Amino acid sequence: MLLSLENATVRFGGQAVLDAVDLSVAEHEVVCVLGPSGSGKSTLLRAVAGLQPLDAGRVSLDGHDQRGIPAHRRGVGLMFQDHQLFPQRDVGGNVAFGMRMHGASKAEQAARVKELLDLVGLPGAPGRAVGSLSGGEQQRVALARALAPRPRLLMLDEPLGQLDRSLRERLVVELRELFSELGTTVLAVTHDQGEAFALADRVVVMRDGRIAQTGTPLEVWQRPADEFVARFLGFDNVIAATVAGEAAATRWGKLPVPEGTPEGPRTLLVRPAGVRLVAADQGLRCTVAARTFKGTHVAVHLQPEDAPRLEAACALREAPEVGDEVGVEFDATEIVVLDRAE
């Protein structure tokens, strides 16, 4: 393993910001840590970079314990959330900085600066002042600067956090291509699930300094490990259920569950696509409380008479109006048992 954390713990004033985290990243792997703000993901990066000492546990790179090794000798790259370009240097000076620190010759530096600026799509920019760059350009320069000294591990803190949406979507694709082309090992953190899923080979969801779930984007998306992960991914149809056979009793009525679901009290997730709207006299009776247009579909918020709200996804043509009365039926293939581990 290129990077491994064992029992890594950081406390701020008695509170564990990073709580016994175990995580490893293999060479050429792109891992994305996903979590809400305050979940400890930036601290995780700082601990690996050597900017934040651990209170317990260890960080190893290539199997070597990094305890006592200062940030500048760890050979990892970190791209900061707001880029932190050096204001007094031009673009070329920023990109060349890391190579200069490692004693590269002027010619090497110039060649690499050109190569990297071409790579990130800013050819001919070395003489520009960083103050004159747009947000997207700053992001590219910061990336080139982090890549320049050829770090064995590249870490990105909210790499696309402050950029506008279309630029973000384009850059995510570019980054993905770039990393697979260069074979870079990447550890990124973000609060944006779309970014994480688009970028990563493997996603790590964090909550309150602990790892809540690890898996490929598809695994995490399809089978969130618990209610927290499900809600963080934007799924709100979560409800307590009692499973008996192939049905589960909930406040939304009897729901079908996949075969082999263990019996007893469980928590269920119903994906919006699994909430089917039918005539008002069938199934669970609901009132349409709100509808939001999502581009490919309409999210319909339904209020049952005596149960929590439900979200359904339906095509624009079929979407009911606010105030309509509808019936709801559930699709077994879109129902996930969240606490299956027990």
Partner 1 sequence: MALPVAFFGVFFAYPVAAILARGLKVDGVWQFGRIADVLGQSDIRHVLWFTTWQALASTALTLLVALPGAYVFARYDFPGKQVLRAVVTVPFVLPTVVVGTAFMALVGRRGLLDELWGLRLDTTVWAILLAHVFFNYAVVVRTVGGLWAQLDPRQEEAARMLGASRWRAWRTVTLPALGPAVAAATLMVFLFTFTSFGVVQILGGPTFSTLEVEIYRQTSEIFDLSTAAVLTLIQFAAVGAILALHAWTVRRRESALRLVDAAQTARRPRGAGQWTLLAGVLVTIAVLLVLPLAVLVQRSFGAADFAYYRELTSDESGIFLVPPIDAIGNSLSYAVVATAIAVLVGGLAAAALTRRDAGRFVRGFDALLMLPLGVSAVTVGFGFLIALDEPPLDLRASWILVPLAQALVGVPFVVRTMLPVLRAVDQRLREAAAVLGASPWRVWREVDLPLVRRALLIAAGFAFAVSLGEFGATVFIARPDNPTLPVAVARLLGRPGELNYGQAMALSTILMVVCAVALLVLERLRTDRTGEF
Interface segment toward partner 1; rule CB under 8 A; list 66-74, 107-115, 170-178, 219-227: 66-74
Q: How many residues does the chain have?
A: 342
Q: How far is the CB of 79 from partner 1 (least distance, A)?
A: 9
Question: Out of 61, 78, 91, 187, which residue is the one contacting partner 1 (CB under 8 A)?
Answer: 78
Q: How far is the CB of 147 from partner 1 (least distance, A)?
A: 11
Within residues 276-305, the interface with partner 1 by CB under 8 A covers none
Is position 149 an interface residue for partner 1 (rule: CB under 8 A)? yes
Is position 224 an interface residue for partner 1 (rule: CB under 8 A)? no
Write out the two tokens for 87: 């204001």
CA 25 → CA 28, 72, 160, 188, 206, distances in Å?
A: 9, 21, 21, 11, 16
CA distance 212 to 341: 13
Within residues 110-139, the interface with partner 1 by CB under 8 A covers 129
Collapse the DSSP code of 326 into the 3-class scheme (helix H, G, I; strand E, B; otherwise coil) and give the result: strand
CA distance 30 to 290: 39
Minimum CB distance to partner 1 smaller for 11 or for 297? 11
Total interface residues for partner 1 by CB under 8 A: 27
Minimum CB distance to partner 1 smaller for 98 or for 224? 98
Is position 77 an interface residue for partner 1 (rule: CB under 8 A)? yes
Write out the two tokens for 172: 């995510």
CA distance 144 to 140: 6
Minimum CB distance to partner 1 smaller for 84 or for 287? 84
Is position 86 an interface residue for partner 1 (rule: CB under 8 A)? yes
Interface segment toward partner 1; rule CB under 8 A; list 65-73, 188-196, 215-223, 288-296: 65-73
Question: Out of 140, 145, 202, 266, which residue is the one contacting partner 1 (CB under 8 A)?
Answer: 145
Question: Out of 9, 84, 267, 287, which residue is the one contacting partner 1 (CB under 8 A)?
Answer: 84
Is position 322 an interface residue for partner 1 (rule: CB under 8 A)? no
Is position 102 an interface residue for partner 1 (rule: CB under 8 A)? yes
Residues in contact with 296: Cβ distance below 8 Å, sequence separation at least 6, in sequence order: none
Minimum CB distance to partner 1 smaller for 155 or for 211? 155
CA distance 256 to 259: 9
Residues in contact with 97: Cβ distance below 8 Å, sequence separation at least 6, in sequence order: 86, 89, 145, 148
Question: Out of 64, 67, 72, 309, which residue is the one contacting partner 1 (CB under 8 A)?
Answer: 72
For residue 80, how many C-alpha atoms fall within 13 Å in the half-sphere facing its CB? 7
In DSSP terms, 277 is beta-bridged to 328
CA distance 48 to 30: 15
CA distance 313 to 227: 20
Q: How far is the CB of 45 from partner 1 (least distance, A)?
A: 10
Write out the two tokens for 243: 């499973």
Question: Which residues in this chain contact partner 1 in the complex, by CB under 8 A?
Answer: 49-51, 70-78, 80, 82, 84, 86-89, 97-98, 101-102, 129, 145-146, 149
